[in-house]
């Protein structure tokens, strides 16, 4: 969720953010649909119950969580609290010209949700799904060797001549330079973080106010428990950006 949270912080430095992570039950990729839905609901409810009152919005900055949990989350929170999901940016990638590849977790790659997006926006074999085995977990560890191995695995399964690569997991945003290098610098990368941040502000009726020093607080929950931002997060520019500013008490 770091890339989306950092995009929100950049757009609204005064926003109070609650990051509800779930380290006790990661990775989510291999879990069943019902398991993922249960974890998504639990994490969102923990965030909504954090001190400071009801949130203005529940943002789901994870493709796997969105693919499986958006319907349940919207049933639970809307219309009282808007829920904003993360959709793999297949449409803009296809509009930029194919062929494209869609890098995602094993669970998202196998989902009907992603299959429907491909059929709608990149039919007829324009898109190649690439299950990036171990990449999200490698990014979580902030281990360069693990990241390099997982990126290489996915790059080998990306067809030559691919013009665009959809990063269908927000973890992958954090290693976009490594992905670009492994692909020879040719395909354009498409991510969702900026679009999700913009949609969040639209849904709550707020205008972007970038450029100011961060005054909004940051609160981190680890499987419901108050926590600090994980050390691994500080290995990435997005995590470093979130670490600047006041911490919620």
Answer for the pair 117, 90: CB distance below 8 angstroms, yes or no.
Answer: yes
For residue 142, being part of any structural domain is answered with yes
Residue 104 pLDDT level (bands cut at 50, 70, 90): very high
**Structural domain ending residue among the three candidates 191, 220, 235:** 191
Assigned token pair, 240: 């470093």
Q: Is residue 23 part of a domain?
A: yes
Q: Based on the structure, what is the number of domains in the chain?
A: 2
Give tens-digit pLDDT for 160-188: 999 999 999 989 999 999 999 999 998 99
* Same domain flag for 112 and 153: yes
Last residue in a domain, options 191, 208, 228? 191
Catalytic option among 5, 62, 150, 242 = 62
- Per-residue pLDDT at 31: 78
In a domain, 248, yes or no: no
Residue 15 lies in a domain: yes
For the question of residue 62 being annotated catalytic, the response is yes
pTM over 0.85: yes
Q: Among 151, 167, 191, which residue terminates a domain?
A: 191
132 is catalytic: no
What is the SS3 assignment for 249? coil
Domain span holding position 152 = 90-191
Q: What is the pLDDT of residue 234?
A: 93
User: What's the CATH number where 172 sits?
Assistant: 3.40.50.1860
DSSP-derived letter for residue 213 is P
Residue 46 forms part of a structural domain? yes
- Catalytic residue (choose from 15, 169, 196, 218): 169
pLDDT tens sequence across 109-122:
888 888 999 999 99
Q: Indicate if the pLDDT at residue 28 is higher than 80.
A: no
Q: Is residue 162 part of a domain?
A: yes
Instruction: Determine phi and psi for 165, rounding to 5 degrees.
Output: -120, 120
**The pLDDT of residue 9 is above 80:** yes
- pLDDT (average), residues 204-219: 92
184 and 98 in a common domain: yes
């Amino acid at each position: 969720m770091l890339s989306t949270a950092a995009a929100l912080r950049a757009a609204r430095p005064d926003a109070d953010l609650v990051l509800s992570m779930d380290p006790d039950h990661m990775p989510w990729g291999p879990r069943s649909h019902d398991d993922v839905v249960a974890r998504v609901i639990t994490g969102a409810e923990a965030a909504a119950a954090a001190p400071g009152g009801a949130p203005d919005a529940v943002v789901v900055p994870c493709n796997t969580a969105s693919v499986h949990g958006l319907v349940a989350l919207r049933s639970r929170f809307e219309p009282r609290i808007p829920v904003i999901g993360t959709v793999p940016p297949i449409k803009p990638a296809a509009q930029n010209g194919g062929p494209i590849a869609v890098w995602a977790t094993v669970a998202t790659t196998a989902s009907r949700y992603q299959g429907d997006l491909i059929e709608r926006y990149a039919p007829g074999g324009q898109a190649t799904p690439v299950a990036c085995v171990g990449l999200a977990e490698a990014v979580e560890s902030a281990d360069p060797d693990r990241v390099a191995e997982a990126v290489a695995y996915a790059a080998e399964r990306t067809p030559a001549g691919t013009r665009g690569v959809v990063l269908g997991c927000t973890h992958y945003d954090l290693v976009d330079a490594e992905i670009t290098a492994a692909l020879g610098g040719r395909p354009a990368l498409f991510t969702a973080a900026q679009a999700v941040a913009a949609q969040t502000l639209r849904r709550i009726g707020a205008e972007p106010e970038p450029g100011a020093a961060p005054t909004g607080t940051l609160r981190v929950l680890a499987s419901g428990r108050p926590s600090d931002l994980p050390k691994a997060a500080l290995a990435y520019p997005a995590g470093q950006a979130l670490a600047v500013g006041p911490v919620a008490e």
